[in-house]
Chain A
Amino acid sequence: MELVECKNLCKTFDEKQILENINLTIPRGKIIGLLGKNGTGKTTLIKLLNDLLTPTSGEVLINGKKPGVESKKIISYLPERTYLDKTMKVSQVITFFEEFYDNFNKEKAIKLLKDLNLELNQRISQMSKGMQEKLQLILVMSRDAELYILDEPLGGVDPATRDYILDTILTNFNEGASVIISTHLIADIERILDEVIFIDKGKIYLASPADELRSKENASIDEIFRRCFKC
């Protein structure tokens, strides 16, 4: 059974078609780049996978079942915007996650926090935007999940931290798990991708193993993306 399957998935908001006939399977053990310009439907697709939106037609299956309580147990999701209570301290958020998720690995989280010099007794409201993003990513990657869905995980962080984040993703994605990363910072992440999915105007424009695409086009994924979607 595939980890994720989308069949003829459509989503419209007020008559505006955001996603049109998406057919997609996400296998286990892969890192997949979901790449597209702003406003092409990446986040909508991700929200459908996470049961935050319901399909207008078609279906999403996670481990063969419709998204719901069971899928939320196995999907660790990093949304575009943080949802943490800013009045909490880091240590309180850790406790919160530990109580909330069965598969939250506290030791891992504490180790990662230490690596990135984040203090346990610091209040989130006192942290910079970049630090808050790091914290959020650490929380998400510290769950022993089957699927990690990261919506723009690199947006607000500096290049050195980007490298650390990529390392964190590589180190912590357990065997058999998959990672979906949505981003437009392609050059920064393309090295770690198994497969790329280009999404444009609500449709899948292209889906291919990354190395195959490179040899076919003799170019980087970043370059190919630019060529495809030149404004």
Chain B
Amino acid sequence: MDYNFDNERPIYIQLVEKIRIEIVSGKLKKGQKIPSVRELALMMKVNPNTMQKALVELENEKLIYTERTNGKYVTEDEKLIERVKSELAKEKIENYINSMNSIGISFDEAIKYLQELGDKLKNKHN
């Protein structure tokens, strides 16, 4: 996880976003125990209270759960993880379309760009 924060947005929301990405990308595996609030806070160089608030939010989203006295774990619910992942994907695609629009490229053209460049990029990433 990177620990760059944008001071203009609440830090706890940015922590939620970062940990959510760790979960949907599988870096934090389902059912895996997550470090304590204090450890996480030190890792991310944030205030433990802020980290606590982020974990409460993730718990509300059911992405993590607390096992009494035992600590916190990543959810086992694969469907939930998939759902969150597709929401994030939707968001990224919208961002892509919007930024293409902002440089004067229409929706259809943007899709074409993606397809044309797709193969090239695929080779690069593999």
Contacts and interface: CB of A to CB of B under 8 A. Distances in A.
A170 to B, nearest CB: 7
A211 B50 contact: yes
Contacts, number: 56
Contacts of A29: 49
Contact of B41 (A170, A210, A211, A215): A170
A214 B41 CA distance: 20
Given A170-B41, A170-B42, A171-B42, A220 B49 contact: no
A200 B45 CA distance: 30
Interface stretch (B8-16, B73-81, B114-122): B8-16
A191 B11 contact: yes
B9 A194 contact: no
B7 A192 contact: no
B7 A214 contact: yes
Interface residues of B, number: 18
B57 to A, nearest CB: 11
A32 to B, nearest CB: 11
A167 interface: yes
Classify the interface of chain A: helix, strand, loop or mixed.
helix
A98 interface: no
B47 A193 contact: yes
A223 B47 contact: no
Interface string A112-133: 0000000000000000000000
Contacts of A210: 11
A219 interface: yes
Given A170-B41, A171-B42, A31 B47 contact: yes
B1 to A, nearest CB: 15
A3 interface: no
Contacts of B12: 211
A199 to B, nearest CB: 20
Contacts of A221: 7
A191 B7 contact: yes
Contact of A187 (B7, B45, B46, B47): B7
B9 A191 contact: no
A164 to B, nearest CB: 11
7 contacts: A170-B47, A211-B10, A211-B11, A211-B13, A212-B10, A222-B7, A223-B8
